[in-house]
Amino acid sequence: MKKLLIVMLSFLVSTQTFASLIGNEVIDRTSIDGASNINFVDTSLIFQHDGFITSWDIYAGRANSEFSLQVLRATGTANEFSLVGENYFSAAGNTGLVHFEIPTLEQIAVQTGDVIGWWFGNGQGVIDFTYNSSDRVNWKYEHGTQVNVGDTVLLASGGNREYSISATYTKVPAPSALTLLALSIIGVSLSARKRKA
């Protein structure tokens, strides 16, 4: 009986989460964005399942400008997105490949169909990019109005660019599978107690 419980608990732990990668190749590219106070969205970088972002990787062309790495959700109106969540960084810290582990309480919850975005604040852009790629990146300058989590933003301008950005996120298991497993464990436990009595 104990072996069965251990096997079932091991299965529960193993099905809790697994990591997926979303994004572009994080490499040194030909251009560094010079824009400031601007929001971006890459509509080709689509989350394939629900989960939580555990880390980000970028190739930073500048080390000292503020930026946020974001998750956006289409509203149903053309080129309009709501800001689901963001991880803010006062600076990249250095140029080149930069990895950011996200503490549990700061991990952004994503849903299937959400997309990656980013924001450059005061100072110039941070993330390297290449022109003339197949990725469509849209943007909008803030003009003094910063977009906050929960706000919607119309990102209608844009061009074909590929930025050096990626995220690792964990999959959230289907609630029904966890419920069935939990009920099985409870049932096995109760039947074991009845036999002892």
pLDDT at 154 over 60: yes
- Which CATH number is 41's domain given? 2.60.120
pLDDT at 11 over 80: no
Residue 23 domain boundaries? 15-174
Grouping H, G, I as helix, E, B as strand and the rest as coil, residue 194 is helix
What's the pLDDT score for residue 2? 54
Would you say residue 132 lies in a domain?
yes
How many CA atoms within 13 Å lie on the side-chain side of 143?
A: 4
Which residues are paired to 101 by β-bridges?
Answer: 55
Of 14-23, 28-37, 118-127, 129-138, the poorest mean pLDDT is in 14-23
Q: Report the predicted TM-score, pTM, of the whole model to 2 decimal places.
A: 0.79
Question: What is the C-alpha to C-alpha distance for residues 91 and 176, in angstroms, rounded to an integer?
Answer: 42
Arithmetic mean of pLDDT, 86-92: 94
What's the pLDDT score for residue 113? 97
Which residue type sits at 131? Y
The helix (run of H) or strand (run of E) holding residue 16 is helix 2-16
Arithmetic mean of pLDDT, 87-114: 95
pLDDT at 177 over 80: no
Arithmetic mean of pLDDT, 74-90: 95
Total domains in the chain come to 1
pLDDT at 119 over 70: yes
Which one-letter DSSP state was computed for residue 21? E
What's the pLDDT score for residue 159? 92
With b for 16 or more beta-carbon neighbours within 10 A and e for fewer, the 44-71 pattern comes to: ebebebbbbbbbbbbbbbbeebbbbbbb
Would you say residue 1 lies in a domain?
no
Question: Which pLDDT band holds residue 190 (cuts at 50, 70, 90)?
Answer: very low
pLDDT at 16 over 60: no
| Mean pLDDT (the chain, rounded) | 84
